[in-house]
């Protein structure tokens, strides 16, 4: 057992922050045993790490990011989704056939996730088994939690990224066998890229793999209008884009995350709610690829689970703190267009990024008894000029702070050191 003392801020629900000035978190074998405003007598004598006036908050969770697009972060924003994939993204992902290249880039990616305080990540890799395994190893060596997907695709992509259904099954089975423990920090996630790049046979095979091994699923859904029109042509028997996944066992049969859902409404939205499919909200990507504004207020009202994704390199900022800010800002523009849609509050955005997103990892994303101790210690002394309240200090860090202010990082109780890039 170990005890940490600091100013604690977290969101038990979406309505408000719980703020405990000079509070105590007791951690036992990676799990939070209790959170206290004053140290209970029975815990006196247990070692305490005192972080003084610093803030201690849950660590960030990125529920949608493409690790092999890290080289393209912040460039090539001049196209919409489908030509963007063909011109910039697929050529870059093809390079990951080379594991030496993959190692160089993936090390920087994992190091930078560490920097921005993201301790749990749901990542797309590429079709390549060996470089996908490498990414899993790097997360494992770092001690950071991740669901990592070997991407599956067998049509409408360059030959260098195209696999057969048999290859996809074999390579997934190999990785699944190596990462079989259900409570491991790093686990596989079944990852058909999106309907346009997967034949019905491949989608079917992915659904069977997910069910057979009880593994989560991730993909993309209703991001861009040209993409959606194309899916209607490719899948005429499906009611809508989401139904195309459902028909193959990829829409909530096991825990499922769908990125974007910008144009999701009506029956597709109800199907997400009924199957508890999580939306990975990626506002920066939706701006950069001119995809649109996802109806997050409606998702929350209807009870569809939501998390935040950086979606590098459609998105340009790896920090989930900054993605929170964009999520609030886009909701304010939606509110300007329709006053029946109240904009997101800061506690809502924080809750979405932590406790709501964390359900994909078990009990993760809050400072409550029974949760994994995933936390960041923030030294905002340089930002805290005027005796702000603890809530204003956190808000200012979220809007103006960066990795220089994150002084300690914990994942499942372990303090996580900077992962080496070489």
Q: Answer yes or no whether residue 259 interacts with Fe ion by CB under 5 A.
A: yes
Which of these, 83, 198, 181, 82, lies nearest to 136 by C-alpha position? 181
Using the structure block, give the residue that is written with the tokens 């070692």. 47
Instruction: Find which of ligand GUN, Fe ion, none residue 152 binds, CB within 5 to 8 Å per kind.
Output: none
Instruction: Find which of ligand GUN, Fe ion, none residue 223 binds, CB within 5 to 8 Å per kind.
Output: ligand GUN
State the nearest-atom distance from the C-beta of 291 to ligand GUN, in Å. Answer: 8
Q: Which is nearer to ligand GUN, 24 or 70 (CB)?
A: 70
Q: Which is nearer to ligand GUN, 285 or 331 (CB)?
A: 285
Q: Which is nearer to ligand GUN, 155 or 212 (CB)?
A: 155
Instruction: Find which of ligand GUN, Fe ion, none residue 193 binds, CB within 5 to 8 Å per kind.
Output: ligand GUN
Tell me how far apart the alpha carbons of residues 64 and 369 are, in angstroms, rounded to a whole number: 27
> Checking phi first, is residue 135 left (phi over 0); if not, alpha (psi -120 to 50) or beta?
alpha
Q: Answer yes or no whether residue 93 interacts with Fe ion by CB under 5 A.
A: no
Tell me how far apart the alpha carbons of residues 242 and 226 are, in angstroms, rounded to a whole number: 16
State the nearest-atom distance from the C-beta of 196 to ligand GUN, in Å. Answer: 8
**Token digits of residue 195:** 């309907």
State the nearest-atom distance from the C-beta of 67 to Fe ion, in Å. Answer: 11
Using the structure block, give the residue that is written with the tokens 């489908």. 82
Instruction: Find which of Fe ion, ligand GUN, none residue 409 binds, CB within 5 to 8 Å per kind.
Output: none
Which of these, 380, 383, 375, 378, lies nearest to 412 by C-alpha position? 375
Using the structure block, give the residue that is written with the tokens 């000035």. 21
Q: What is the dihedral of CA 319, 220, 353, 148, to 10 degrees?
A: -70
Beta carbons within 10 angstroms of residue 44's beta carbon: 9
Beta carbons within 10 angstroms of residue 72's beta carbon: 20
Q: Cα dist. 278→16, 63, 97, 217, 306 in Å? A: 22, 9, 31, 10, 5
Instruction: Find which of Fe ion, ligand GUN, none residue 192 binds, CB within 5 to 8 Å per kind.
Output: none
Instruction: Find which of ligand GUN, Fe ion, none residue 310 binds, CB within 5 to 8 Å per kind.
Output: none
Tell me how far apart the alpha carbons of residues 288 and 314 are, in angstroms, rounded to a whole number: 6
Q: Answer yes or no whether residue 55 interacts with Fe ion by CB under 5 A.
A: no
Q: Cα dist. 17→37, 262, 345, 346 in Å? A: 15, 28, 11, 9
State the nearest-atom distance from the C-beta of 288 to Fe ion, in Å. Answer: 12
Tell me how far apart the alpha carbons of residues 368 and 43 are, in angstroms, rounded to a whole number: 17
Instruction: Find which of ligand GUN, Fe ion, none residue 240 binds, CB within 5 to 8 Å per kind.
Output: none
State the nearest-atom distance from the C-beta of 85 to ligand GUN, in Å. Answer: 6
Burial zone of 382 (CB within 10 Å; 0-12 exposed, 13-18 middle, 19+ buried): exposed
Q: Which is nearer to ligand GUN, 197 or 334 (CB)?
A: 197
Tell me how far apart the alpha carbons of residues 108 and 104 are, in angstroms, rounded to a whole number: 7
Q: Cα dist. 290→72, 97, 287 in Å? A: 17, 30, 5
Q: Which is nearer to ligand GUN, 195 or 375 (CB)?
A: 195
Q: Which is nearer to ligand GUN, 85 or 416 (CB)?
A: 85
Q: Which is nearer to ligand GUN, 93 or 372 (CB)?
A: 93
Tell me how far apart the alpha carbons of residues 56 and 22 are, in angstroms, rounded to a whole number: 10
Instruction: Give the binding range for Fe ion (CB under 5 A) out of 3-11, 237-245, 307-315, 344-352.
Output: 307-315
For residues 407 and 377, is the Cβ–Cβ distance under 8 A? yes
Instruction: Find which of ligand GUN, Fe ion, none residue 171 binds, CB within 5 to 8 Å per kind.
Output: none
For 372, which DSSP code?
B
Q: Which is nearer to ligand GUN, 66 or 393 (CB)?
A: 66
Instruction: Give the binding range for Fe ion (CB under 5 A) out of 204-212, 242-250, 255-263, 319-327.
Output: 255-263
Q: Residue numbers of the site for ligand GUN (CB under 6 A)? A: 66, 81, 85, 89, 193-194, 220, 223, 285, 311, 314
**Token digits of residue 340:** 């029946």
Which residue among 311, 317, 348, 374 contacts Fe ion (CB under 5 A)?
311
Q: Which is nearer to ligand GUN, 66 or 405 (CB)?
A: 66
Instruction: Find which of Fe ion, ligand GUN, none residue 264 binds, CB within 5 to 8 Å per kind.
Output: none
Instruction: Find which of Fe ion, ligand GUN, none residue 123 binds, CB within 5 to 8 Å per kind.
Output: none
State the nearest-atom distance from the C-beta of 279 to ligand GUN, in Å. Answer: 14
Q: Which residues bind Fe ion (CB under 5 A)?
A: 259, 311
């Amino acid at each position: 057992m170990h005890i940490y003392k600091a100013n604690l801020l977290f969101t038990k629900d979406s309505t408000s922050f719980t703020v405990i000035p000079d509070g105590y978190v007791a951690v036992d074998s990676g799990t939070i045993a209790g959170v206290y405003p004053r140290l209970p007598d029975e815990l006196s004598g247990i070692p305490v790490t005192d972080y003084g006036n610093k803030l201690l908050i849950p660590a960030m969770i990125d529920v949608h990011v493409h690790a092999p697009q890290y080289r393209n972060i912040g460039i090539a924003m001049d196209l919409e989704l489908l030509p963007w994939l063909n011109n910039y993204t697929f050529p870059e992902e093809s390079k990951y056939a080379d594991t030496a290249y993959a190692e160089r880039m993936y090390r920087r990616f994992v190091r930078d996730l560490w920097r921005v305080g993201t301790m749990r990540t749901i990542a797309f890799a590429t079709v390549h088994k060996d470089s996908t395994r490498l990414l899993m190893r790097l997360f494992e060596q770092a001690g950071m939690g991740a669901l990592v997907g070997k991407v599956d695709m067998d049509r409408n992509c360059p030959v260098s990224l195209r696999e057969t259904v048999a290859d996809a099954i074999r390579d997934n089975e190999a990785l699944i066998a190596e990462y079989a423990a259900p409570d491991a920090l790093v686990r596989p996630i079944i990852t058909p890229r999106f309907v346009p790049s997967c034949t019905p046979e491949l989608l079917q095979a992915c659904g069977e793999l997910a069910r057979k091994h009880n593994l989560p699923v991730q993909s993309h859904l209703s991001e861009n209008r040209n993409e959606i029109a194309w899916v209607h042509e490719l899948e005429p028997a499906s009611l809508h884009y989401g139904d195309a996944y459902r028909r193959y066992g990829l829409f909530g049969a096991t825990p499922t995350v769908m990125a974007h859902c910008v144009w999701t409404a009506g029956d597709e939205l109800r199907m997400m709610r009924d199957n508890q499919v999580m939306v990975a909200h990626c506002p920066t990507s939706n701006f950069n690829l001119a995809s649109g504004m996802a109806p997050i207020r409606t998702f929350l009202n209807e009870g569809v689970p939501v998390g935040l994704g950086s979606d590098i390199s459609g998105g340009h900022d790896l920090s989930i703190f900054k993605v929170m800010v964009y999520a609030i800002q886009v909701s304010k523009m939606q509110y300007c267009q329709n006053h029946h849609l109240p904009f997101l509050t800061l506690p809502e955005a924080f809750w979405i990024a932590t406790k709501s997103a964390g359900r994909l990892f078990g009990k993760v994303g809050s400072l409550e008894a029974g949760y994994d101790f995933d936390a960041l210690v923030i030294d905002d002394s340089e930002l805290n000029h005027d005796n702000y309240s603890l809530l204003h200090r956190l808000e200012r860090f979220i809007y103006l702070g960066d990795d220089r202010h994150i002084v300690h990082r914990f994942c499942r109780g372990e303090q996580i050191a900077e992962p080496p890039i070489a």
